[in-house]
Chain A
Amino acid sequence: MNPLEKLGAKAVGLLRSMGDMFIFLITALFYIFVPPFKFRVLLKQIRFFGNKSLVVIVLTGAFTGMVLGLQVFYTLRKFGSEALLGPAVALSLVRELGPVLSALMVTGRAGSALTAEIGIMKITEQIDAILAMALNPIRYLIVPNIVAAIVVFPLLGAVFNLVGIYSGYIVGVKILGLSKGTYFSQIENFLGMEDIKIGFIKSVFFGLIVSWVCCWKGYTAEYGAEGVSKATTQAVVLSSVLILVSDYIIGTFYL
């Protein structure tokens, strides 16, 4: 095979893989609306994504808010606009940092575990066992994870925002001496429903991306421990990149 043929084969392979990945998503989205619905499994997966990621979300939300409070305060002071600290922190979190950082943290915490779990099910023939029982593994394994992520990501994003805004308040008001009333009233003046809506849309979209990529990578993991480890790494990297790329794309629509 000459280099040109090799390149062509690689491109065709990549295109086929992208096509398979897309069909996988379409199939999963189709089964979301086809009964019977797996409520028990869905609740379990909501707990898996949500409850277990809560600590890390609170922790990162708190420190992000504190750093924002500190840095934005010093920047605004140069222009004599310290009073706008509240809205600056809140807008940064609600429109951008809350959805993106919470999605990145959940990808590292739950997305990687999801890929590893499905990957191990693949290599230990548990997925084949579901097929052999005349059942559909996408319906049983993938659909509950996608729905759970779509439900949980906006909630975790909201928790991140809330914790972040209060942490910014602690730094700005309690430590740096800004007035409490100014911090919150200015947030009320500047933060609108449109900003919250953008953050919400981003979170829903990130939930879909992370669950899709992580499930797909686990579902197509190659055999052996190395195969699962490779799939897990690829899932986290691809999810993170897609979160940042789609964040920009969604952001341009809502400027």
Chain B
Amino acid sequence: MIEIIELKKRLNGQLVLKGVNLRIEDRELVAIIGRSGTGKSVLIKHLIGLFKPDSGSIIIDGMDIVRFSTRQLCKIRERFGVVFQGGALFDSMSIYDNIAFPLRERLRLSEKEIEDRVSRALDDVGLLGHEHKFPAELSGGMKKRAALARALVTEPSIVLFDEPTTGLDPITLNAIFRLIKKTHRKYNFTGIIVSHDIPEIFYIVDKVAMLEDGKIVEYGTAEQIQHSSHPVVRQFITGATEGPIEATAL
């Protein structure tokens, strides 16, 4: 279980997270939605220690990782897989080497075992046959698939998706979401997806948290959020320019 308690973070003098509280059960697939620049990516990067909060706690399986040393953080990161916004694939490596990288560097596996696991990950995301290409040779959707394969190849128990569908056309976007759902079913990981793809995101996740003005303003099942009467949530999911969120601030 992941529990975020009163998490606060100031960046460049501005309080981005003003006391975030969130509880995610094991094997749940949760979306964090909200306007651009509200700190969604900053929030999930706290979970792997890429940001250190000014105050608050992040409890993962009973341990507060905020107080962890670098060595302890490194250990906890082994349980995570992360799909970054642009994929963050290594430009100088082929797709095969990108996916094999965490296996080669972290686990003591034979080259045959690595090959098997990379092939399985490529098969999961539908990229078999493209493993010798370089990231620059792939389309946007293929890059996201490759990034997903790299995140899953170590079989993590928690997977973070930072806007995994940014810049994709609607068909590819749905294909990526379906793929996330399929791999979630197969590997049973706890998943946190940062997204503003409304309504598509509601169809794949168990729960949705809405982040606005540095706080979670509503948290519930996708169904509950879709029918929420909270004015901020309503305005966000309908995309209305009139409401509590000032359109001029967007």
For the complex formed, measure the closest distance between the CB of A120 and the CB atoms of chain B, giving whole angstroms. Answer: 8
* Contact status B45-A124, CB under 8 Å: no
Residue in A120, A129, A134 whose CB lies within 8 Å of B78: A134
Interface string of B83-105 (1 = CB under 8 A from A): 01110111100000000011001
* Contact status A135-B102, CB under 8 Å: yes
Q: Is the interface of B mostly helix, strand, loop or mixed?
A: loop
* Contact status A129-B88, CB under 8 Å: yes
Residue in B74, B88, B89, B91 whose CB lies within 8 Å of A134: B74
Residue in A120, A128, A134, A136 whose CB lies within 8 Å of B84: A128
* Contact status B90-A126, CB under 8 Å: yes
* Contact status B106-A132, CB under 8 Å: no
* Contact status A134-B82, CB under 8 Å: no
Residue in A121, A126, A132, A135 whose CB lies within 8 Å of B48: A132
B189 at the interface (CB under 8 A from A): no
* Contact status A132-B50, CB under 8 Å: yes
B133 at the interface (CB under 8 A from A): no
B74 cross-chain contacts in A, Cβ below 8 A: 134, 136
For the complex formed, measure the closest distance between the CB of A16 and the CB atoms of chain B, giving whole angstroms. Answer: 16
B185 at the interface (CB under 8 A from A): no
Q: Assuming A132-B48, A135-B105, is B88 touching A125 (CB within 8 A)?
A: yes
Which chain B residues (54-109) contact chain A, with CB distance < 8 Å?
A: 74-75, 77-78, 80, 82, 84-86, 88-91, 101-102, 105-106
Q: Is the interface of A mostly helix, strand, loop or mixed?
A: helix
A140 cross-chain contacts in B, Cβ below 8 A: 105
B45 cross-chain contacts in A, Cβ below 8 A: 128
* Contact status A132-B77, CB under 8 Å: yes
> How many residues on the B side are at the interface (Cβ–Cβ under 8 A)?
22
Count of A-B contacts judged by CB separation below 8 Å? 49
A133 at the interface (CB under 8 A from B): yes
Q: Assuming A128-B45, A128-B50, is B86 touching A134 (CB within 8 A)?
A: no
Interface string of A113-137 (1 = CB under 8 A from B): 0000000110011101101111110
* Contact status A135-B106, CB under 8 Å: yes
CB-based nearest A residue for B85:
A125
Give CA–CA (A125, B89) in the complex, Å. 9
**A: contact size bracket:** 10 to 19
Residue in B88, B90, B105 whose CB lies within 8 Å of A128: B88
A125 cross-chain contacts in B, Cβ below 8 A: 84-86, 88
A134 cross-chain contacts in B, Cβ below 8 A: 74-75, 77-78, 80, 106
For the complex formed, measure the closest distance between the CB of A5 and the CB atoms of chain B, giving whole angstroms. Answer: 15
Interface string of B172-183 (1 = CB under 8 A from A): 000000000000
Residue in A120, A124, A128, A133 whose CB lies within 8 Å of B102: A133
Give CA–CA (A132, B74) in the complex, Å. 8
* Contact status B50-A131, CB under 8 Å: yes
CB-based nearest B residue for A136:
B74
Interface-centre pick from A121, A124, A129 (highest chain B CB count, 10 A): A129
A126 cross-chain contacts in B, Cβ below 8 A: 88-91
* Contact status A129-B106, CB under 8 Å: no
* Contact status B50-A133, CB under 8 Å: no
Interface string of A135-151 (1 = CB under 8 A from B): 11000100000000000
Q: Assuming A128-B45, A128-B50, is B88 touching A133 (CB within 8 A)?
A: no
Interface-centre pick from A131, A132, A140 (highest chain B CB count, 10 A): A132
* Contact status A133-B84, CB under 8 Å: no
Q: Which 10 A-B pairs have the closest CB atoms?
A: A134-B77, A129-B88, A132-B82, A125-B88, A125-B84, A133-B102, A134-B78, A134-B74, A126-B88, A132-B48
